[in-house]
Amino acid sequence: MSAVVTGAGRALPATYEQSAVWREYFAPRYEGVRAAERVFMAAGVTTRHAVVYPGDEDLADAGTEARMLRYVAEAMPLGKQAVAGALDAAGLAPGDVGLFAVASCTGYVTPGLDIRLAQDLGMPAGLQRLLVGHMGCYAALPGLGAVGDYVSARSRPAVLLCLELTSLHVQPAVPELEQVVNHSLFSDAAAAVVVEPGAPRGRRIAATVARTDYATADHMTWDVTDLGFRMGLSPRVPDVLSRHVGGVVDELLTGAGLRIEDVAGWAVHPGGPRILDVVRDQLGLAEEQMSASRRVLAEHGNCSSATVLLVLEELADVDGPVVAMAFGPGLTLYATLLLPA
C-alpha cells in the first residue's frame, strides 16, 4: 500500500524584520566584532518569526528550566493550529489518525507534545505516537519515512508535526562570528503533513536515502547548557555537503529509474545561502530551481525541521517528481523522493 501526503498545515508566530532585530538587539551586543553586521545581513533572511522577540524580551540569561516552561506554553497553540490545518486539508478528523509523530529539537517536556496535542485535538486513546527528538534540521525526512512506513504497513492515516522554537535559545553574546551566523538564521514555525494509504491524490513517498559523514560530526552541534541550547556551526559544512550531495541524489533517483532532469521540483532545506549554492552547483541545477528554498529562507528564516515542509508547500502546484533534501548534525544528509499519486 502506497503512502501519500494528502494535506499540509502550518502555524507561524509573530513576524519581524531582520534589519530591526539587528538594530534593536544584536548590534549593541556585537559592537566591535569586525564584519558582524555584514555577516548578519548576508544570511538571505528578510523576515522571520519568533514566539519571543529579543527586542521586547531578552532571554539570553534565562535558565534552561524557564525556557522549557515557555516552550510548552508557546508550542501547544502553534502545534494545534498546524495539525488541525493539515487534517482539514486532507478532509480527515482527528479520530481517523492511527499514528501521530512529532519532531522537535528545541524543547523537552514529559508528557510530551505528542500526548498533550493528541488530547487537545481529540485523537483516539489507542493512538500510536512517535517522538523524533534532537535530530535537528533534517528531522522531517526521517520522520516522513517513519510515518510513511506505518501507513504502508497498517493502512491507516498518520500525521507528522515538525515544531521548532529556536527563539527560546538566544545565547549571551560572545565575540565570535560563528554565533553571529547562528543568530542571523534561525526562526520559529510549526508545519504538519497528513499521510494516507493509497490515496488517489497528493504525493507518494517513494524512497528515502541517508548519508552521515562521521568524521565531521563536530561541524554541527546542538548542546544542552544551563542557558538553553547552544548551536555550533562550522563554516566548513558546505564543503562537506559538496562531497556527498551528488552521490545521495544519484542513489535516490537511480533506484526509481529517474535522472536529475526528470525532477520537477527541488525542496532543499535552506540552511543558509551557501548551502543552496552548493546544492545548485553540485547537481548542475538552474538558479530558478532553488527559488522556492530561497523564498522560504527570505520570508521565514531557517526554522530547523519545519523548514523543508514549508518549502514543499511552496511546490504544491508542481506537477511531477519532487526531491526534498535536508541536512543536520552528524554531519547528515537526508533526501526523499515524492512522486505524483
pLDDT for the residue numbered 35: 94
Q: What is residue 302's DSSP assignment?
A: B
Domains of the chain: which residue ranges?
A: 3-197, 203-340
What's the average model confidence in pLDDT over 81-99?
98
CA 120/CA 78 separation, integer angstroms = 12
What's the average model confidence in pLDDT over 81-106?
98
Q: Answer for the pair 129, 119: CB distance below 8 angstroms, yes or no.
A: no
The rounded percent of the chain whose pLDDT value lies above 70 is: 100
> Could you identify the residue written with the cell 508566530?
13
**243, pLDDT greater than 90:** yes
Between 234 and 13, residue with greater pLDDT: 13
Q: Answer for the pair 207, 251: CB distance below 8 angstroms, yes or no.
A: no
203-340 matches 3-197 in CATH topology: yes
pLDDT for the residue numbered 295: 98
Residue range 3-197 in CATH 3.90.1150.10: no
What's the average model confidence in pLDDT over 45-59?
96
pLDDT for the residue numbered 233: 87
In order of 94, 156, 192, 210, 221, the CA distances from 1 in angstroms are 22, 10, 22, 23, 38
The rounded percent of the chain whose pLDDT value lies above 90 is: 96
What's the average model confidence in pLDDT over 304-321?
97
What's the average model confidence in pLDDT over 246-255?
97
Beta partners for 241? none
Burial of 138 per CB tally in 10 Å (0-12, 13-18, 19+): buried
**208, pLDDT greater than 90:** yes
CA 73/CA 78 separation, integer angstroms = 10
CA 297/CA 311 separation, integer angstroms = 9
> Is 105 a catalytic site residue?
no
Topology adopted by domain 203-340:
Peroxisomal Thiolase; Chain A, domain 1 (3.40.47)
Res. 340 pLDDT band, cuts 50 70 90: very high
pLDDT for the residue numbered 249: 98
The SS3 assignment for 111 reads coil
CA 279/CA 297 separation, integer angstroms = 15
Question: To the nearest whole number, what is the mean pLDDT of the chain?
Answer: 96
Using alpha carbons only, give the angle 259, 306, 84 rounded to the nearest 5 degrees: 110
The SS3 assignment for 319 reads coil
> Which residue of the set 105, 137, 162, 303 is catalytic?
137
CA 159/CA 7 separation, integer angstroms = 9
315-331: per-residue pLDDT in tens?
999 999 999 999 999 99
In order of 9, 33, 230, 323, 338, the CA distances from 92 in angstroms are 13, 52, 39, 26, 21
pLDDT for the residue numbered 175: 87
